[in-house]
Amino acid sequence: MAAPTKICSCPAPADQDRLIQFTNCRLVRGHQLLRDDLWVRDGKIINPEPIFFDEQSKAHSRIDCGGAIIAPGYLDLQINGGYGVDFSYDTDTIEEGVAKVARGLVKSGVTSFCPTLVTSPSDSYHTILPRIPTAVPEGAGILGIHAEGPFINPQKKGAHPENCIQTIDKGLSSLESTYGSLERIKIVTLAPEKVSDPQVIGQLVERGITVSLGHSMASLGDGERAVKQGATLITHLFNAMLPFHHRDPGLVGLLASDAVPSGRTVYFGIISDGVHTHPAALRIAYRTHPQGLILVTDAISALGLEEGVHHIGQLPLEVKQGKAFIAGTETLCGSIAPMDECVRIFRRATDCSIVYAIEAATLHPAQCLKIEKQKGTLDFGSDADFILLDDELRVLSTWIAGRRVHQTAA
């Protein structure tokens, strides 16, 4: 199918109260691709029936989408930075840095994200957390902060600085003193085997914080106990955890555990950038536990940068052949694949449906954070954050609150 062109001549309405009708499109709705129109008013997706019968109104604007797919905007629950910005280290310019990333992400169809802070000194958390903006004009929305550490296992620290790793030795007060405040935090990644107080996970969940298990040497039993206490997410499956073993499958075993409480879904982030997770591993995860799979980029500051050497943080990075290396070496230093590319790679690797690939980056993360009434779907009443895609899942345009914030050049 050729890329839609009629959309290009239609400016995004400036008046949020206007009724907008998107026509000649296919909607990702109800786990299907449906030929239907999308109606938007006041930043929300609305049911057109009351418009016709009660209000007897017509659309103020009609936008012909040229046969494109309309999908919910992508949600990225784990991203460390991009476009030369590192959320954990650019303390002096964090407001501008987050805004730059938020405006860059809409190019890849991301309409909401969790800025992710890796293990850092307590002073850094106290400085950075209060200064991360809650909203960015013309940029992706901010769902809250993902604190990936510092309560992790040093044996699986990955790129996290070992001297900053801490233990939870004073219950919830350990986290409050480390972060300064839990108010802005949406996700905490911790190693469950390092949590001595069994109440901590439940206390975090009671505050609306999603507890994720990762950077861990946990056994399956450790993981199951944490899930029973309220943990619902695994951080970048297969990475920074014990490899699968047939006698004790570790955190990976949670995908098939029979000890997960009835009605509870264990979600897991997975990086499908073509580098960090082998296609066979993607297929194993998808076929084992499809309802819990969430695509994350785990992208670093080199996301969106041109090929060449870039001086970011402590070490110069080199972007070449679509990968990021420590300059002058062949050592990989993080993911730089944007979310739309991760979705395409995942679909090719697993041969899943178009709808499933999209839902792994929309519906599933929204369900994990319990925000599926607002984000991650095109249901009536949800936020009008959506993207137009062609049949190859290339982003044609991105809309937030019913306003177009990005359009790919024809």
Computed over every residue of the chain, the mean pLDDT equals 93
In this structure, the answer to whether residues 255 and 352 fall within a common structural domain is: yes
In this structure, what CATH number is given to the domain that contains residue 107? Answer: 3.20.20.140
In this structure, the answer to whether residues 59 and 86 fall within a common structural domain is: no
Domain range holding 66? 6-71+376-407
Establish whether 37 is a catalytic residue: no
In this structure, the answer to whether residues 158 and 48 fall within a common structural domain is: no
Q: Which residue has the tokens 């990225």?
A: 76
318 located within any domain: yes
Q: Is 24 assigned a ligand-binding role in the annotation?
A: no
- Given the residues 86, 222, 298, 340, the one annotated as active site: 298
**Residues 65-98: tens digit of each pLDDT:** 999 999 999 999 999 999 999 999 999 999 999 9
Contacts of 358 (CB under 8 A, 6+ apart): 28, 71, 72, 343, 389, 393
54 located within any domain: yes
For residue 384, name the pLDDT band (cuts at 50, 70, 90): very high
**Residues 235-262: tens digit of each pLDDT:** 999 999 999 999 999 999 999 999 999 9
Q: How far is 401 from 384, CA to CA, in rounded Å?
A: 5
In this structure, what CATH number is given to the domain that contains residue 32? Answer: 2.30.40.10
Highest mean pLDDT among 18-27, 45-54, 317-326: 18-27
In this structure, the answer to whether residues 150 and 220 fall within a common structural domain is: yes
In this structure, the answer to whether residues 170 and 217 fall within a common structural domain is: yes
Q: Is 269 assigned a ligand-binding role in the annotation?
A: no
**Burial (0-12, 13-18, 19+ Cβ within 10 Å), 162:** exposed
In this structure, the answer to whether residues 183 and 34 fall within a common structural domain is: no
Q: Is 126 assigned a ligand-binding role in the annotation?
A: no
Q: Is 215 assigned a ligand-binding role in the annotation?
A: yes
Q: How far apart are the first and last CA of the chain?
A: 14
243 located within any domain: yes
What's the pLDDT score for residue 16? 54
**Percent of the chain predicted with pLDDT > 70:** 94
In this structure, the answer to whether residues 130 and 90 fall within a common structural domain is: yes
Overall domain count for the chain? 2
The tokens describing 268, both together, are 């897991």
Q: Name the nearest CA neighbour of 47 among 10, 19, 69.
A: 19
Q: Give the E-state strand segments of 219-303 in sequence order.
A: 233-234, 267-271, 293-296
Question: Is there a contact between 291 and 253 (Cβ–Cβ < 8 Å)?
Answer: no
Beta bridge partners of 241: 216
1 located within any domain: no
How big is the CA angle at 219 (ends 284 and 239), to the nearest 5 degrees?
45
pTM reported for the whole predicted model: 0.94
In this structure, the answer to whether residues 137 and 254 fall within a common structural domain is: yes
**Burial (0-12, 13-18, 19+ Cβ within 10 Å), 106:** buried
In this structure, the answer to whether residues 179 and 222 fall within a common structural domain is: yes
In this structure, the answer to whether residues 153 and 287 fall within a common structural domain is: yes
In this structure, the answer to whether residues 218 and 293 fall within a common structural domain is: yes
- The whole-number average pLDDT for the span 266-294 is 97
Using H for helix, E for strand and C for coil, what is the string for 198-233? Answer: CHHHHHHHHCCCEEEECCECCCHHHHHHHHHHCCCE
